[in-house]
Structures are given as structure tokens and as C-alpha cells.
Amino acid sequence: MHTSEHKQRILKTLKEQGNDLYSLAPRIVESIVEEVNRALDAGFEKSEDPDEMLRHRERMHHLEGIEQVTEELTRNYGEIYKELIRQIATQHVRDDMNQVPRREDYQRPGFWKNWSSQNETLCSWL
């Protein structure tokens, strides 16, 4: 999913949920969404090879990556935003992976092949 799609989808969810922090500080929350997306997609490079474009997800698209981003951005924005940051990061990973894997899941033989066969529609943007 492209960065702008992530942002729109996440902000729509926050609005629909009536998120208090988003209602009180929409610019701060929008900044957090952008930073979460940027952190999780660090290392993404456009490529002719769809498999190469997916590989960046191994770096941060997992439970441990969500926790890392949550801790880093909580230090920047404050404890009041911690659960919101975690929610945004989790939604980003679920939108891209249709699950929240653990870091070690990517090392299992056949992980990407199995993932691709189960998530053909998610691969369509590649």
C-alpha cells in the first residue's frame, strides 16, 4: 500500500472511532501517522522485482517492529500518545501483511511463498 493510502485509511479509522486525541490535536496525530508510516517503510525501494519490494517489510513489519516504533515515537510525543502510536503501527502492518507476524516468522522456509498465495489481492499493487 502506498504511503498516502496508509495515511488516508488510518485517519479515516481514527475519525470513525471518534478518537479523542485525533479530535483534540489533529495536526499532531497526522504527524504521528506520517512518522509511523515512514519508520515502518524505511528501506523500501521501487524495483522491477516484486519480491525485492516486499523484502523491506522484513525489517519492521512485525510485532517487534511495532514495539520499536511505538517506543521511539512515544519518547518524541509523550506517553499520552503511546497506545495511539501502537494502534497506528499495528494497522499499517495489518494493511500490508494481513496479519502481524513476529520477526522470526520471516525466516521460516516458504514464508513469502505462503504469504503471497494467501494474499494475492494485497500483492496487486506491486
Q: Does residue 125 lie within any of the structural domains?
A: no
* Rounded-to-integer distance, Cα 112 and Cα 51, Å: 8
pLDDT above 90 covers a percentage of the chain that reads: 61
Q: Does residue 15 lie within any of the structural domains?
A: yes
Task: Tell me what percent of the chain is helix, strand and coil, each rounded to the nearest 5.
Answer: 75, 0, 25
pLDDT digits (tens, 9 = 90+) for 57-109: 888 999 999 999 999 999 999 999 999 999 999 999 999 999 999 999 999 99
* Total domains, the chain: 1
Q: Does residue 122 lie within any of the structural domains?
A: no
* All cell numbers assigned to 111: 514464508
Radius of gyration in angstroms for the set of CA atoms belonging to the chain, rounded to a whole number: 15
9: containing domain: 3-112
Q: Does residue 35 lie within any of the structural domains?
A: yes
- How far apart, in Å, are the Cα atoms of 100 and each of 15, 57, 66, 67, 121? 23, 11, 9, 12, 17
Q: Does residue 118 lie within any of the structural domains?
A: no
Q: Does residue 42 lie within any of the structural domains?
A: yes
- Predicted pLDDT at 61: 93
The pTM of this model reads 0.86
At 126, is the pLDDT very low, low, confident or very high (cuts 50, 70, 90)?
very low
At 121, is the pLDDT very low, low, confident or very high (cuts 50, 70, 90)?
low
At 40, is the pLDDT very low, low, confident or very high (cuts 50, 70, 90)?
very high
Mean pLDDT (whole number) for 121-126 = 50
Q: Does residue 33 lie within any of the structural domains?
A: yes
Q: Does residue 48 lie within any of the structural domains?
A: yes
Q: Is 72 exposed, middle or buried (0-12, 13-18, 19+ CB in 10 A)?
A: middle
* Rounded-to-integer distance, Cα 92 and Cα 106, Å: 17
